[in-house]
Structure 1
Amino acid sequence: MSTAQPTIVLLHGFAESREVWTAFTRDFPDDYRLVTPNLLGFGTNVHDIRDYSMEAQARYLAEYLRQRGVERAVFVCHSMGGYVALAFAERYPSMVAGLSLFHSTALPDTEERKANRDKNIDFIQRHGVEKFMDSFVRPLFAPDNREKLVDERCFLEEIGKATPEASIIGALKAMKQRPDRTAVLRKADYPVQFIIGKDDVAVTVDSLLPQISLPAESHVLILDGVGHVGFFEQPAVTRRAVLDFAGRVFNSEE
């Protein structure tokens, strides 16, 4: 059974869950159907996961959407969620009406980033997920927001600490191994949105600027004083940007 209702699929990032979207989407219009899955290994989706690769996540997502009658949607994707969405778009392009990369990238890990993934895995194996999350989340916020948004920071830390070690390590390995998917942006016959934080240390503005010219249609929002979690750091601005983007996409398809 399919649905003709305009659908927005929101994909969370690494060490997160669908709960990161709860406050962000509270004021979304009822016109939209919102689908917020937990990716493999996260939230409540933590049982019997053997493959954390972006390709496995994409296959899971396709089946998840088919079971819910979603044939085509706008995808709004934070960080690792963007890696999953790009793998999904590569395999199921007809299901993508629009793609919003929310602090995400089509580039693979650099050698330095791969080495950092290995260091993080080693740290987790020696000290556990809880200690890792104590140091991982804080730098994701822009410097001025790290003390200002303590509740939001603690919320993300709690989600991460509740995530099984196998999921954290599995996702780190999968992100390290993901390929370059800039070709997906070049081939995109749907609009692509980039939401970029100037203070993002995880996906830097410099690494994203060359990507914004790749799709045939790009929409770009670059935010001052924002790090890697704009839905907490500038919720009103990023919410408006996502809704405007979705509105343009769905209006063009009518």
Structure 2
Amino acid sequence: MINYTKSGNGPALLLIHGFCESLEMWTHWIPTLAQTQTVFAIDLPGFGKSPLIEPSVSLESTAVILQDWLEQEGITDPIIIGHSLGGYVTLALAELMGITIKGIGLFHSTAFADTEEKKHTRNKTYQFIEKFGVEKFIDSFVPPLFSEENRKKNAQEIELLIQEGRKSSKEGVLAYILAMRDRKDRMDVWRNFPNPKLMIAGYNDMAVSIEHSRMHEAHAQFYHELPHAGHMGMFEESETTLQFLQNFLKQV
């Protein structure tokens, strides 16, 4: 079962959150987006109020689950926007569904597979959570997602994300760590997807380097860098990021 919210009228827009997040991260944008779109914000299986359907997770299996959900809900020709892990899922959906998706957007995400260094970090994170649990991990995980210059300004958003992240099930968090670690490179999917593509990158993103983000620019009709953002541009530079998204939606 996929937990979701539906708002507005117009072409379908699907918003997919990132790791240890939930649909709540989009709520400050939904009233504006719903003026022109039918906005669906979902909880990925294992996060928020969506139960983990299977004990092991892959991006491919998650994409199949979401494709089935789209069909069940009668959602056709969606535009799909994914943040971080949600971007990985977006690319898996693009590979699965092709041109039936009207456009895709990656927020602070990448089409590349994990480097060996990143895989090592995922393994350490897995071991930490096995030993100490989700809550202790979340408390240290969320603040560095924001650029250091924004942590005081965004203290309320950081606290809300921590509270939401603490609700994540240990089984779901561990399953997605392995899914992210073992995901394949989808740069060919990004390069060859024929419909409009948006990428938003944070100059100070510690999770997805700006150098890696720039390697996607040649294949994106809409590419934007946020000079004062880390990994959470929808909060750190909210109005600017929302305007970029609205411009993309108008063109699609």
TM range (shorter): over 0.9
Question: In the aligned structure 1, how far is the partner of 2:53 from the partner of 2:76?
Answer: 27
Q: 2:6 is matched with which residue?
A: none
Question: In the aligned structure 1, how far is the partner of 2:66 from the partner of 2:249?
Answer: 20
Matched, 1:174 2:179: yes
Matched, 1:140 2:135: no
Task: Say which is worse superposed, 174-183 or 50-59, in terms of deviation.
Answer: 50-59
Task: Say which is worse superposed, 20-29 or 43-52, in terms of deviation.
Answer: 43-52
Matched, 1:43 2:42: no
How far did residue 91 of structure 1 move? 1.0
Aligned runs of 1:76-87 on 2, under 5 Å? 76-87=81-92
C-alpha change, 1:181 and 1:48, in structure 2 (3 Å) is: closer
Aligned runs of 1:75-154 on 2, under 5 Å? 75-154=80-159
Query: Deviation per CA, 1:121-162, whole angstroms, max 9, x where unpaired?
Result: 111111111110111011100011112211100111111111
* 2:238 aligned residue (235, 238, 242): 235
Contact 2:142–2:161 under 8 Å retained in 1: yes
Contact 2:58–2:176 under 8 Å retained in 1: yes
Aligned identity (percent) is 36
Q: 1:185 is matched with which residue?
A: 190
SS at 2:214's partner residue? Answer: helix
Matched, 1:70 2:75: yes
How far did residue 29 of structure 1 move? 4.2
Partner amino acid, structure 2, of 1:156 = L
Question: In the aligned structure 1, how far is the partner of 2:34 from the partner of 2:178?
Answer: 37
* 2:204 aligned residue (199, 218, 227): 199
How far did residue 211 of structure 1 move? 1.6
How far did residue 36 of structure 1 move? 1.1
How far did residue 94 of structure 1 move? 2.4
TM-score (norm 1): 0.93
SS at 2:114's partner residue? Answer: coil
Aligned runs of 1:159-170 on 2, under 5 Å? 159-170=164-175
How far did residue 56 of structure 1 move? 1.1
Question: In the aligned structure 1, how far is the partner of 2:237 from the partner of 2:113?
Answer: 27
Partner amino acid, structure 2, of 1:132 = F
SS at 1:27's partner residue? Answer: helix
Task: Say which is worse superposed, 4-13 or 122-131, in terms of deviation.
Answer: 4-13
Matched, 1:31 2:32: no
How far did residue 71 of structure 1 move? 1.5
Contact 1:74–1:99 under 8 Å retained in 2: yes
Cα RMSD, aligned residues only: 1.3
Partner amino acid, structure 2, of 1:200 = D
Unaligned runs of 5+ in 1: 250-254
Question: In the aligned structure 2, how far is the partner of 1:38 from the partner of 1:137?
Answer: 18
How far did residue 47 of structure 1 move? 4.4
Contact 1:140–1:201 under 8 Å retained in 2: yes
Runs of 4+ aligned structure 1 residues displaced above 3 Å come to: none
Aligned pair count? 244
Query: Deviation per CA, 1:8-38, whole angstroms, max 9, x where unpaired?
Result: 1100000001111111222224231001111
C-alpha change, 1:174 and 1:47, in structure 2 (3 Å) is: closer
Question: In the aligned structure 1, how far is the partner of 2:181 from the partner of 2:55?
Answer: 17
Question: In the aligned structure 1, how far is the partner of 2:52 from the partner of 2:131?
Answer: 23
Question: In the aligned structure 2, how far is the partner of 1:209 from the partner of 1:115?
Answer: 24
Unaligned runs of 5+ in 2: 1-8
How far did residue 194 of structure 1 move? 0.7
